[in-house]
Amino acid sequence: MTFQRARTDEQRVQRRQQILATAAAMLTEMPVAKLSLNELSRRTCLAKANVLRYFESREAILLDLLDTEVRAWVTELEGTYPPGTGSPAERGDRLAEALAASMARRPVLCDLLSAQATVLEHNISTELAVRHKHAARESLQSLTEWVGRHLPELGDGGAAALVETTLLMAMSAWPCSRPSEAMLAAYDSDPALAAMRMNFTDLIRRTVAVTSSGLLARRPEAIYDAPGAT
């Protein structure tokens, strides 16, 4: 394919979208750590220097994809899991199931989250860092509000704490739940070792359930002040 320089704003937007779409497709085939600018350039039929005309670094591309993934996840949660009825404990358990199941269905999101602090937020400019953090702040606010609609007893601070704990657990649990071939062979060789293998969905579900229960227990007054509480 012959390279043609994007000359209009519309063409530049299309070129950026082409790069992002190609990178997103690559992440369905490989982990973040293996996505290279060389391979991305080959798949987009662009020289590496031309890719860098639109994004300042590989990490900038991945940060853009992370922001997109988080927004899509929040939109899915808001549209798929409306608030239910029942006791705070029952609603907390359903919330735990919803968060665990939704994250497990989004391996690209989980992989990007797990690499956020150690990889994605490096080799970027301050300007990009500011834009990313503003986007993350908006998504976190939407996620916190969604949690608050499910468990209003938590209050704003409790809902934010639950979101923070869930994301931190996901960031650490995801790579631990993706063992190497050698570790898989070790687990297969001994049932006692197999019991040590981490299950991502179970970890997230248990973390959300236990954290929400603990937060509710520390705010007994909020339970009685919540809308509709008796």
Place of tokens 């299309």: 14
Distance CA 33, CA 30 (A): 8
Residue 152 has pLDDT above 60, yes or no: yes
The reported pTM is: 0.87
- Mind listing the pLDDT tens digit for each residue in 24-81? 999 999 999 999 999 999 999 999 999 999 999 999 999 999 999 999 999 999 999 9
- Over residues 71-115, the pLDDT tens digits come to 999 999 999 999 989 999 999 999 999 999 999 999 999 999 999
pLDDT score for 25: 95
Q: Exposed, middle or buried, 211 (CB in 10 Å: 0-12/13-18/19+)?
A: buried
Rounded distance, CA 80 to CA 193, Å? 37
Provide the 3-class DSSP secondary structure of residue 106: coil
Would you state the structure tokens that stand for residue 13, as one six-digit string?
A: 């937007």
The hierarchical CATH code for the domain 58-225 is 1.10.357.10
Residue 3, pLDDT > 50, answer no
Domain residue ranges in the chain: 1-55, 58-225
Hey, what are 215's tokens? 């937060």
- Dihedral angle sign, alpha carbons of residues 117, 73, 147, 199: negative
Q: How confident is the model at residue 223 (pLDDT cuts 50, 70, 90)?
A: very low
Segment 120-137, tens digit of pLDDT: 999 999 999 999 999 999
**Domain topology for 1-55:** Arc Repressor Mutant, subunit A (1.10.10)
Mean pLDDT, residues 183-201? 92
Output the CA torsion sign for 166, 206, 104, 38. positive
Cα separation, 132 vs 112, in Å, equals 13
Confidence of residue 228 (pLDDT cuts 50, 70, 90): very low
Which DSSP category does 68 fall into? Answer: H
pLDDT confidence of 214, banded at 50, 70, 90? very high
Average the pLDDT over 141-164 and give the result: 96
State residue 8's pLDDT score. 72
Q: What is the mean pLDDT of the chain?
A: 91
Per-residue pLDDT, 220: 53
pLDDT at 110 (0 to 100): 97
